[in-house]
Structure 1
Amino acid sequence: MDEDLRATESVVHTVRKMRGNKGVYYLVDRKTGKSPSITLWASEQDLQATEQDANRVRAQSAQAGGRTIVSVERFEVAVAETDAS
């Protein structure tokens, strides 16, 4: 799993360079091997504008890690509160 996380870092950097990206969370359940990710976008328009690139990055990442993409869902952030970094 740790080797997979190192490979994922380059994917995260690629996504972070996409127009309008505001953040990436890569979550891991070490017991099950599941690893969902959450990306945050400045606007729905930015999300839509990067859709093709995001599909390509997801497919390449899954293939490289021997994983399967189970689903892709889109949600609006209705409420958020975080500590400033």
Structure 2
Amino acid sequence: MTAFTIVWFGQVVSLVGTAMSGFALTLWAYRTTGLATALSMVAFFNFAPMIVMSPIAGVLVDRWNRKWTMALSDLASAMMTLVVLVLFLTGHL
């Protein structure tokens, strides 16, 4: 297996996991509150950072090592997902 295939597969898994987490959090907000407003607010705040940060991140990634940037951003995403899990399990979400 080539290095590109490993990185590509890792990114696919990461993106699918991120999308599933965002979708689950959106459904949880609706199920908990029963309000479409909560659903739309969670969905908005799930996508707004991507829209705002994409141009900035594009410039920075061109200057940095791409592999390290992908690895660190995936690590940060995993850590935030774990934080959401801990908050959910402890009843503080």
TM-score (norm. length: structure 2): 0.30
TM-score (norm. length: structure 1): 0.32
Looking at secondary structure, tell me which structure has more helix per residue.
2
Larger Rg: 2
Looking at secondary structure, tell me which structure has more strand per residue.
1
